Structures are given as C-alpha cells and as structure tokens.
Chains A and B, each alone.
Chain A
Amino acid sequence: MTMIQALRSAMDVMMEKDDNVVVFGQDVGYFGGVFRCTEGLQKKYGKSRVFDTPISEGGIVGVAIGMGAYGLRPCIEIQFADYIYPAYDQIVSEAARLRYRSAGDFTAPITIRTPCGGGIYGGQTHSQSPEAVFAHVCGLRTVMPSNPYDAKGLLISSIENDDPVIFLEPKRLYNGPFDGHHDKPVVPWSQNPLGEVPEGYYTVPLDKAAIFRPGKQLTVLAYGTMVWVSEAAARETGIDAEIIDLRSLWPLDLDTILESVKKTRRCVVVHEATRTCGFGAELVSLVQEHCFYHLEAPIERVTGWDTPYPHAQEWAYFPGPARVGAAFKRAVEA
C-alpha cells in the first residue's frame, strides 16, 4: 500500500470495528479527500459517518470535541497542517484540557489528521511542520509516521486512544519514500518493504520509537521525511549512524533515545521545521540532560531555516542529505 492507502485502510478498519468512529473534514466525504485518503469511505459507511464540512477548522475541531463528549470517536481532517491555526484555540484550550479540567467527567478521544511537511513546492502555506506548537501543549499526543506500515498501525492506535491525538502526515511520503534527492525519480512504496501493509487490524504502539537503521557511530533523532533523508546521508557519508524514527513526538520514547546516545556518544537531531524553539530544542535538551557525561561532541541540529517556507528556494530550505551529511561529519569528527 501507499501511505494514502494505508491511512484509508486504518480508517476503514476502525469504522468497521467501532460504530462510534466518524470521519469528517473539508472535501473528505463524496470526493474522498484532496489526497484521496478517505476515498470510498462515505460510499461504504454512509453520510452520517463520513461527511463533508464547511471550511472552518475551528468548527471541525469544535464539533469533534462535542461529539467526543457525547461518546463518539471522531477522526477528523484538517486539509493542510498550515491551516490548523484557526482551530488552535479549540485544540489547546479545549481538547487538550477537557479531561483535566473536568476531572475526567468529559474527555476528547479525537484524532486530528493533517498533512504536513515540505519538499513539494508547496510554498508558505502548503509545507509547514507545526509539530512544536502541539508538542508544547500538555494533554495532547503528537504523532508522525514515516512509512505506510507505521501510518496504518499508528493511526489505528491514535483513533483507539482516549487522549486527543495530532496525527501529522508527511504528504511528501504519501506516494513513496523521499530522501531529499529531488532530481531523482520517486520510487513508489510498492518497491519498499515498508509498503507491505496487512489488510486487517493491527496496531503500532504510541510512545514507542523505532530504530530505523542500527548504527554505532552516532545517533540521529528524526521523524517523517527526515528519516529517509538521514538514511541517505548515512549511506552517502559512509557514517554508521543509528537512525531513530521517533514516530510519537510527545509523549516520546525517551528510553530508546537515551540507550542509543549512551552507546554512540554522539547525537544529531533532524527536522524540517524551523530551528528556533522547534521540537529539536526539546530533544537536544533531553539528550544533554540525561547523557551529558556520555557525550563526546556537541549535539547537532539540522533543521529548516528560521524563515517562512519559500517556494523558489525549496531545496535551499529543505534539509537535504548534503546538509544532514555535513552535520554527521561534524559530529563524528568533533
């Protein structure tokens, strides 16, 4: 399956399994989503369970919270992560706090799917990676898959989870893995083992990272598209990097991270999002706090620049394998 098909399959499985799962958002009903992620679901489950909404992100999240309070389990879509901000009040002030402020009287078991990330000439409002603004919010879970197998398993786990989940989908990975070499043709998921996805129900646990590539020389903390870019950088530099795909950004799998860094003694954090106060800062902080005496080099960060995501300068902005590889070299040579 492609990542699109895997995500659709996850929703299909969960709608079949649980009558309380409903799917809605802009263009997700009849049309099946601008990225085809919900294609066929309305036909299969009917308009009362899969439906189109007005263009109102605050409204989409707000009604989902009300439905969650009633006892449904909404899996909703915000068309691009860049457009999630009108819903920020509902996400931060309401979904994330509802269980806490009501002492468990009401909960918000909702999943907010939203395509994120750049590398597609999306310009300023079709490329952003806003994970840090959610990871900072107590009460939320923030999740990002990097391949079809994880995408389905993590989405099923997210829908089943009783906490609100921000489910970020790197749209650059929808049709195939992408290592940052934009000049080369995209290889489809059908030619990658991680594109082999079971048809039925399975889960990938939240709060568990995956060792994407075992290695000895340094630890790379990455997620989404940057997992593939980091792998290319390791291959091209010949550096034996241990690449950890975080999968769950927050709460995260600290044990896997610390075990790896204590072994390799070097760490590079890679993300597409802008640098300052990005999620990487938290990762750097956690690693230095817990691994200070094991570290043999400063922790490196390779990120998007502190600029809005440009259009024409796409590949100068996007942290590609050359920039990531250079950081690997600095880290092992320090």
Chain B
Amino acid sequence: MSKGEPLRLHVPEPTGRPGCATDFSYLRLSPAGAVRRPEVDVAPMDTRDLAYSLISVIDAEGNAVGPWVPQIDIEVVRKGMRAMMKTRIFDSRMLMAQRQKKMSFYMQSLGEEAIGTAQALALNVDDMCFPTYRQQSILVVRDYPMVDMICQLMSNERDPLKGRQLPVMYSVKKAGFFSISGNLATQYIQAVGWGMASAIKGDTKIASAWIGDGATAEADFDTALTFAHVYRAPVILNVVNNQWAISTFQAIAGGEDTTFAARGVGCGIASLRVDGNDFLAVYAASCWAAERARRNLGPCLIEWVTYRAGPHSTSDDPSKYRPGDDWSHFPLGDPIARLKQYLIKAGAWSEEEHEETQKRLEAEVLAAQKEAEQYGTMASGHTFSPAEMFDGIYKDMPEHLRVQRQQLGI
C-alpha cells in the first residue's frame, strides 16, 4: 500500500469578503416557472428533484409564470404587499429607536419580509406558528397591534411580557405566534409536538415551524425532522436560508454542495426549495404544504432561499465579514420590489399608490411608536415593577420566592 498525501482539514469559506464581491453561482437557481408542481400526496422520495431546484413564480419582467402560479385573490396580494412594506418600515423605525437608546436591542428582517407574510396568509389564524426572532412579518400581517409590539421592545409599563424578555422575543398566543426563545432551534421540535397534539385530538389545526440556516446545525433540527416523519405530524418545517448566521456563511452550517431542503428528503419528508423573495411562490408553496398537512398526508419541509440584507442585529456590523453591497448582487433581489413590479403589471398597484402607502404606513408606525412611548422606554426608565420579577415562574408563587420578593423590599 502506498503512503497517501497528508490529510487536510476542509473549512468552508464564503467567496465574498469585505472588499471582494460574492460569487452567487453556488446558489442552485431555476428559471421562474421551470419547476414542476406535484400533487399534494406526492411520496417524499419523489420530491428529490424539487429539493435541489428552486420554485419561482415571478419572472424578471414581473410576470407570474408556471405551474406554481397560486390561486390568490388580488386583494390578498395587496394586503401582503402592505404587510411587507409595513414590516420594513417598522424595522427601520425600531432600528432608529434602538440607536436613540429607547430600547436595548433590535433585529431587522430586511429582505425576508415575503416569507412570513405570505405563509401567514396561506395559514388559518388558529394554526400555530413557532417563529424565530426574524418572523415579525407574521405578527404584522396578522394585524397584531404595533403598539403592543413596541411596548414589548421598550419593556415599558404596557409590555405584554412585563419586561421579562429581551426585545423582539414576542409571545402572542391569540395571533398564533408562539413564545420566542433565545435558545436556537428549540421551537422546531415543539412545533412538531403541537402538530402531534392536534392530530391526537382529531383537530384540524396545523403547526408552522421556523428555523434559520445556521440553526439547522442544532440537534433539535434533526430531532424535529425525525419526529415529524415518524408520526406524520401536520407541520410545515420552514428553513429560512438567508445565507448567513451572524458572521458565518451557510456553508459552515452544512450548506456546501447541498441544500437544506435535501435534508428533508433524507428524513422521508416531502421537501421543496423555494425563492424566498417571491411572494407568490412563498404563498403557493405554503398553501401546498398546508393542504398536505391538513389532509393527513404528512409534514413538508421548505427551504426558503433568501438573503439577510441587514445586519444580524443592532449589535452586529456585517461590513467586518461580508461585502458592503452584497444584497444588490443577490440574484433573487428584493421581495418588495419584485411584488411591486408584478402588481403594477397586473394593474393592481401603481407608483402613486406605492408612495401613498409608504407614507401612510410610515405615519401609522410613527403614531404607534408615539403611543407606545407614552408608557415609557428603556431610556425613560418606566418599566414594570421589580415585584413582577418573582411572579409567574410557577403557577402559584412558592414560599421561597415570596421571601425573596420581601427581601427586595417590595
């Protein structure tokens, strides 16, 4: 036996770094309309080609083409458009408020607005979403009051979570929005359990699970796929591949030379890979997956290909690890710009309406912020009483917590 070459450790790198453009050819893209639409009862192993291609509906000219063009009322599309715009305006206002120290922290969803918005429109309001910290668009499109969101962000006297949670870690049961945890991926398996519970009770509700590309490396991701497959849980397993986990390129999460959708097929789950910046494709794929789940045909994994256009959070500076103009080169563009082009071409939107809507939503967000600030900000120090700190840990307060509360002098 001949002696081989010395082994070398392979550590993936993004092609683009600060000062050097990204080569986006690693993204496996397909032309709009090119990918087939199988029946909802397709066998998981027969979705293999779908896991390695990309479902798009809106082409470069703004036309909706191919088998995935959804049956959707134009008013719903317009509602989606407004929700995406509102999400983006909300994000930019909150970013500013964080810089003004009115809140300690914020996370934008810039560039990812289509995914949560369109899926939420494809679901019923009593279907429970198990979001990460970057699906605020679900709350926006479900018309949860922005004032309540901002009160949570500012941890003020009207914060629904009583100042206990970091900003953006919302919890809104009545809007089908599960309590967000800082611990990544934990909610993915919980979503499967929620779907299993619905099946155990003979209910008709389904669960929508959310995770980012980076967090797929957590054990709970694989666990969720296994349980969802084993029990055919009525759940949509969403993977939002925005290419980045803080500073880490998706290749380090295991995305090199493969797709996250392919993980689903490997676990026996029907899987789709979809253009996450194409509102119509997101809506169509979400409807397909929801119908599959509702008809007891099992779970569906969807990889949404998108790009994290903004910084990871207000504590992050992406210019330290990726090109400054990266988003402008991302082949799938901007979800709002693409839907705007489609709507205008369909005669259901105009530049004037866009501008008016933008102004009206800006005013709405500003008014909500003003109202929320009346109840205090982190800067003003109007927060929940420290006495609240001891409450709600258990259903009834145990003696040791009563004593500790007294020791605090309240």
A103–B196 contact, CB under 8 A?
Answer: no
* Interface flag for B179 (CB, 8 Å): yes
- B200, A72: Cβ atoms under 8 Å? yes
**Does A188 lie at the interface of the complex (its beta carbon under 8 Å from any beta carbon of B)?**
no
Check A66 against B196 for contact (C-beta < 8 Å). Answer: yes
Q: Is B189 an interface residue (CB 8 A)?
A: yes
Q: How many residues of B contact A (CB 8 A)?
A: 46
Which of A1-45 touch B at CB < 8 Å? Answer: 22
Q: Whose C-beta in chain A lies nearest to the C-beta of B162? A: A103
Which residue from B183, B186, B193, B220 sits with its C-beta under 8 Å from A67?
B193
Would B193 and A101 count as touching, CB distance under 8 A?
no
Question: Is B227 in the interface zone, CB < 8 Å from A?
Answer: yes
Q: Which of B128, B162, B183, B400 contacts A89 (CB 8 A)?
A: B183
- Provide the bound-state CA to CA distance between A90 and B181, in Å: 11
Among A92-100, A111-119, A150-158, A227-235, the stretch that binds chain B is A92-100
Instruction: Find out whether the CB atom of A70 lies under 8 angstroms from the CB atom of B224.
Output: no
Tell me if A106 and B179 are in contact (CB < 8 A).
yes
Within 8 A of B (CB), among A89-140: 89-90, 93-94, 97-107, 138-139
CB distance from B251 to the nearest CB of A (A): 25
Stretch at the interface among A53-61, A194-202, A215-223, A293-301: A53-61
Are the C-beta atoms of A94 and B181 separated by less than 8 Å? yes
CA distance A47 to B301 in the complex (A): 26
Cα of A70 to Cα of B190 in the assembled complex, Å:
10
Q: Which A residues lie within 8 Å of B395 (CB)? A: 99, 107, 161-163
Residues of B within 8 A of A71 (CB): 197
Which residues of chain B (182-237) have a CB below 8 Å from chain A?
182-183, 186, 188-201, 207, 219-220, 223-224, 226-227, 230
B contact residues around A205 at 8 Å (CB):
none
Determine which residue in A22, A102, A104 has the highest number of CB atoms from chain B within 10 A of its CB, and name it: A102
Q: How far is the CB of B91 from chain A (nearest CB, A)?
A: 23
Chain A to chain B: the 8 pairs with minimum beta-carbon distance, closest first? A66-B193, A63-B193, A62-B189, A70-B197, A66-B190, A102-B179, A102-B171, A59-B223
Other A-B pairs beyond A86-B219, A99-B392, 13, CB < 8 Å: A49-B200, A59-B227, A62-B192, A66-B192, A66-B193, A66-B194, A69-B128, A69-B193, A70-B197, A93-B186, A94-B181, A97-B181, A254-B400
* 22 residue pairs bridging A and B, Cβ less than 8 Å apart: A62-B188, A62-B193, A62-B220, A66-B194, A66-B195, A66-B196, A67-B197, A70-B128, A70-B197, A72-B200, A90-B186, A93-B183, A98-B179, A99-B392, A102-B161, A105-B160, A106-B171, A106-B173, A106-B178, A138-B393, A162-B395, A163-B394
